[in-house]
Amino acid sequence: MQLAAIIVSLVLIVVGVALFGRALLQIYNFMRLGQPVPAGTRTNDPTQRTVTVVKEFLGHTRMNRWGIVGVAHWFVAVGFFTLLLTIVNAIGQLFQADWILPVLGDWAPYNMYVEFIGTMTVVGILVLIAIRQLNHPRNPGRKSRFAGSNFGQAYFVEAVILIVGVCIFMLHALEGAQHHVDGYEASFFISYPVVHWLAGMDVSTLQNLTYFFAGLKIATSFIWMITVALKTDMGVAWHRFLAFPNIWFKRNATGETSLGALLPMTSGGKPINFEDPGDDDVFGVSQVEQFSWKGLLDFSTCTECGRCQSQCPAWNTGKPLSPKLLIMSLRDHAHAKAPYLLAGGGKTMEGEEKASEEQLKDVPAAALAEAERPLIGTVEENGVIDPDVLWSCTTCGACVEQCPVDIEHVDHIVDMRRYQVMIESAFPSEAGTMLKNLEKKGNPWGLAKKQRLEWTKEVDFEVPVVGKDIEDLSEVEYLYWVGCAGALEDRAKKTTKAFAELLHIAGVKFAIMGGDEKCTGDSARRLGNEPLFQELGMENVMALNTAFGEELDDEGKVTAESRKPKSAKKIVATCPHCLNTLGNEYPQLGGDYEVIHHTQLLQHLVDEGKLIPVTPVEGIITYHDPCYLGRHNKIYTPPREIIGKVPGLRNEEMHRHKERGFCCGAGGARMWMEERIGKRINNERVDEALSLNPDIVSTACPFCLVMLTDSVNGKKNEGKAKESIQVVDVAQLLLDSVRTPVDPAGEAETESEPEPEPVK
C-alpha cells in the first residue's frame, strides 16, 4: 500500500503541477485577447486595492450578507488557502507514517488551528452541499438561484473538499495515535475521541491507515488540479484563484460596487471623441474579443452561485435575462473561441477575416464554428446572447450589488447595447420615439421647452429662475434641478410642487433653470446611445457652468480663473436618475457639482427644526427603494428618517428592501419600452407591497412613482387593492404633515398654505 500510494501520488503531483502551470499561462494569454482599459483606471492606488482584497476575503464582506452561507463558505475558503502545509505533511507521511512537520509539527497553536479549521471545512462544505440540495432547481424550479448552473462540476468540487477535509482530520488523529497521546491535550481538542479509539490498534494498522489517507488526500487534491487545469472555463473551481485579481482590478479601489456612473465609451483603451472619431474606433461590443481584458476576467471568475439571478427583477418575472446565465454564456463562448483568436483570427468591421488560411490551419473545427456565431442573435441565428435577454435589463444593479466576486454585469450589458443601437440600429421600436424626442425637443415626452416652467404657475409663491429673476446661482443656496419628469409628467409634478413648497416654508433660497435645460441623458445612455448622451450632457454642463457664474472659453470649457470649487456648486434633484447623472457622470464631461437628493435635504431641514411635522398622517406605509437612489448611490436612510418623523405613520418594510430592493421596472430606459414577456415588474413589486395591506406606498423617484401608480390603479380596477390606497413621494407626505393644522372652528390658526388635494 505504501509503495502504491507513493508512486501514484508522485505521478499525480508532477502531472498536476505541470498542467496547472500551463493552465495559468493559457488564462493569462486568454485575458490578453481583451481590449486595454484607460491607463490607471484599474491599477490606481495599489495599496488600497490590496487592502480591499484582504478585507473582502478575510471579512467575506460580500458573502456574509447571506447569513449561514457566508459563514460556511468562509471556513471552506480559509481552509483551502491556509491548510496547504497539510499536503507537505501528507507527502512526508507516505514515506514515514509518523512524520510531522519540523518545528510546526509539535507546536500546539498550529495543531489546534489545523484541527479547528480542518473540522470546520468539513462542516462548512456539508452545509453548502445541503443548501444546494434544498435549493435544487427540481424543487423551486426557475426560482432556484442554481437554475442553469453546472451541477456536475459543483458536485465534483464539493466532493473534493469533503474528501480532503476528512483526510486532514483523520491524518491529524493518526498523528496523535502514533505519537502515543494518552490523555486529552489542546492539540487534539476535537479529535481526541478518535485518537483514543485509534490508539487501540496495532502499529501496522495505524501505518496502513496513514498511507491510505495520505495517498487519498494527495490523489484527490491533484486529480482536482489536473481536472481544472484541463478545463480553464470551470468557474466553480477557478473562482478561488481568479476572484483575487478580479477584486483587485475592480473599478473602485476602495471597494465600492461598480454602480452609479457608467464607464465612458473607449476603443483600444482610449476614450472615443464623438465629435471626431477615429477611422478604426470600435463602437460598443459586437464580438467577444471587443470586451476589455477585465470583462474576460469577469466572465472566467463567475462561480455560478446565482445570487445575481435570485435578485434580478427580469428573471424573477419570467423574462429570459439571468445575469448569471449571461455571464456564463459569454465565458463559454470566449473560451471556445479562444484558439481561433490566439491563432490571429478575427473579423474586421466589414466582416472580413484578419488571419490567413495558413494561420488558421491548426485551429480546431469547434473553435472555427464558434467564431462564426454572432454575439447578439436569436436562437435561429445561433446567437450567443438573445436580443430579448439584452433588452430585458433594467440596469437596477442588483446583480452587481450581490456578486461576491465583483463582476460588473451592467457595464457589459450596456457595452453590447451600444453596438446594437449605434451600429445596427437594432433596439425595441418604441424606444425610438423617446430618442427622437430627446434629439428634437430635449425631453422624452417631446413637449415644448416652455412647458418646463408651467408648474411654477400652480404654486402660491415665487420660484426664482436663473438668468431671469437672478443673474446667477451665487445668489441662492441650491439649484433645484427639476428634471423632465418633475416638470412635465403630471404625477411627478406633484412631487415638484411639494418639494418647492417645503423649501419655501423652510426659508431655503433656491432657483431653477429657465427651461432651456435638456434631459440629462440617463435613458439615452443606458439604452446605448452614447453620442446622444454626450450631446445632451455637454449642453447641460455648459448651461450649468454658466449658471454657477463660471466663464467659458471658446470651446465651452470653464476658464481656470473662474473655476469654482465643487462645494460652491450645489444642486438638489428629486429624480435619482438626474442625481446619478449630474453627480456621477457629468464629471466625465467637465461638470463637477455637489449633488444631493431631495430626501437628504429634507431630512437635514427636519433635523434642524426648519420643517416640523405636526399633523398626523394616519395609516400603514411601506417604502419602495428606487434603484438609482439606493443601490447606485447608497441613499437608504433619509427617506425612512422622514417617514419616521411624520406622526401617525407605521412603516412596514417589504421583504425585498434596501440593498435587496426590487426594481419598479423603469430603469435602463425600460420606462419607454413595452413589457411583453412574463409578468410586469411593477406588478410584481406592487403585489409585494399589497401583501402588507398598506394605506400608503411611498417612494422617492418620479419613474418609480409612475410605475407603482400605474400598477396600483390596475389592481384597483381588478378589485385587488383597496380604493383608499395612495402612492406618493416622501416630499408629499412631509408637506401634508408640515402644513399648519386647521382649528375646530374651521379657520386656520395662522396663515397657512391650502390643504392638498387627495392623491389619486
At 466 the three-state DSSP class reads strand
Residues 6+ apart with CB under 8 A from 448: 441
**Among 90, 154, 82, 86, which residue's Cα sits nearest to residue 125?**
154
Examine the pLDDT at 752 and tell me if it is beyond 50. no
pLDDT at residue 14, as a whole number: 97
CA 450 to chain centroid, in Å, comes to 38
**Is the dihedral angle over the CA atoms 450, 452, 455, 460 positive or is it negative?**
negative
Examine the pLDDT at 743 and tell me if it is beyond 80. no
Rounded CA separation 65/659 (Å): 10
Domain map of the chain by residue range? Answer: 2-32+67-230, 296-427, 430-603, 604-738
pLDDT at residue 1, as a whole number: 84
pLDDT at residue 741, as a whole number: 54
pLDDT at residue 593, as a whole number: 96
pLDDT at residue 747, as a whole number: 45
pLDDT at residue 751, as a whole number: 40
Beta-bridged to residue 622, according to DSSP, are: 697
- Using a CB cutoff of 8 Å and minimum separation of 24, what contacts does 84-88 make? 86/114, 86/118, 86/168, 86/171, 86/217, 87/217, 87/218, 87/221
Mean pLDDT for 400-417 is 96
Tens of pLDDT along 229-248?
999 999 999 999 999 999 99
Q: What does the H/E/C string look like for 703-732?
A: HHHHHHHHHHHHHHHCCCCCCCCEEEEHHH
Rounded CA separation 623/649 (Å): 12
Q: Which amino acid is at 354?
A: K
Rounded CA separation 315/282 (Å): 31
- Strand ranges, E, within 515-600: 570-573, 594-597
Q: What does the H/E/C string look like for 405-464?
A: CCCCHHHHHHHHHHHHHHCCCCCCHHHHHHHHHHHHHCCCCCCCHHHHHHHHHHCCCCCC
pLDDT at residue 298, as a whole number: 97
Rounded CA separation 625/201 (Å): 64
Tens of pLDDT along 663-677?
999 999 999 999 999
Q: What is the DSSP letter of 267?
A: E
Rounded CA separation 478/511 (Å): 7
Which secondary-structure segment (H or E) carries 651?
Answer: strand 649-651
% of the chain residues with pLDDT over 70: 97
Provide the whole-model pTM.
0.93
Q: Judge contact between 469 and 475, C-beta under 8 A.
A: no
User: Residue for cell digits 445541503?
Assistant: 130
Rounded CA separation 533/589 (Å): 10
Rounded CA separation 488/454 (Å): 8
Rounded CA separation 252/497 (Å): 37
Tens of pLDDT along 339-397?
999 999 988 777 788 888 888 999 999 999 999 999 999 999 999 999 999 999 999 99
Q: b vs e for 87-124, b when ≥16 Cβ sit within 10 Å of the residue's Cβ?
A: bebbbbbbeebbbbbeeebeeeeebbebbebbbbbbeb
Residues 6+ apart with CB under 8 A from 210: 93, 97, 98, 171, 174, 178
Mean pLDDT for 479-487 is 97
Q: Which amino acid is at 360?
A: L
Residue 620 has a CB neighbour count (10 Å cut-off) of 14
Mean pLDDT for 300-307 is 95
- Using a CB cutoff of 8 Å and minimum separation of 24, what contacts does 138-144 make? 142/315, 142/318, 143/310, 143/316, 144/306
Which region holds residue 255: left if phi is over 0, alpha if psi is between -120 and 50, else beta? left
Backbone φ and ψ for 570, nearest 5 degrees, come out as: -100, 130
pLDDT at residue 749, as a whole number: 43
Report CA-CA distances (Å) from 617 to 171, 613, 645, 649.
Answer: 68, 10, 11, 6
210 vs 758, residue with greater confidence: 210
Examine the pLDDT at 750 and tell me if it is beyond 50. no
Please, what is the average pLDDT of the chain? 93
For the chain, the straight-line distance linking the first and the last C-alpha, in angstroms and rounded, comes to 82
Q: What is the DSSP letter of 649?
A: E
Beta-bridged to residue 621, according to DSSP, are: 651, 696
Helices (H), 83-107: 85-95
**Is the dihedral angle over the CA atoms 732, 737, 743, 747 positive or is it negative?**
negative
**296-427: what fold?**
Fumarate Reductase Iron-sulfur Protein; Chain B, domain 2 (1.10.1060)
pLDDT at residue 740, as a whole number: 61
**604-738: what fold?**
Rossmann fold (3.40.50)
Residue 754 has a CB neighbour count (10 Å cut-off) of 8
**Is the dihedral angle over the CA atoms 650, 655, 657, 662 positive or is it negative?**
negative
**Among 624, 623, 629, which residue's Cα sits nearest to residue 598?**
629
Rounded CA separation 218/171 (Å): 12
Rounded CA separation 302/608 (Å): 47
Q: What does the H/E/C string look like for 529-586?
A: CHHHHHHHHHHHHHHHHHHCCCCECCCCCECCCCCCCHHHCEEEECCHHHHHHHHHHH
pLDDT grade for 754, boundaries at 50, 70 and 90: very low
Grid cell in block for residue 286: 459586437
Report CA-CA distances (Å) from 453 to 588, 639, 754.
Answer: 29, 27, 21
Grid cell in block for residue 434: 423617446
Report CA-CA distances (Å) from 468 to 369, 441, 478.
Answer: 64, 22, 16
**Among 612, 718, 668, which residue's Cα sits nearest to residue 312?**
668
Tens of pLDDT along 5-26?
999 999 999 999 999 999 999 9
Q: What does the H/E/C string look like for 181-208?
A: CCCCCHHHCCCHHHHHHHCCCCHHHHHH
Report CA-CA distances (Å) from 248 to 266, 292, 298, 491.
Answer: 21, 16, 12, 44
Grid cell in block for residue 418: 451600444
Q: DSSP readout, 605-647?
A: HHHTTSS---S---EEEEE---TTTTTTT---HHHHHHHHHST
Tens of pLDDT along 40-91?
899 999 999 999 999 999 999 988 888 899 999 999 999 999 999 999 999 9
266-267 and 270-271 beta bridge pairing: antiparallel
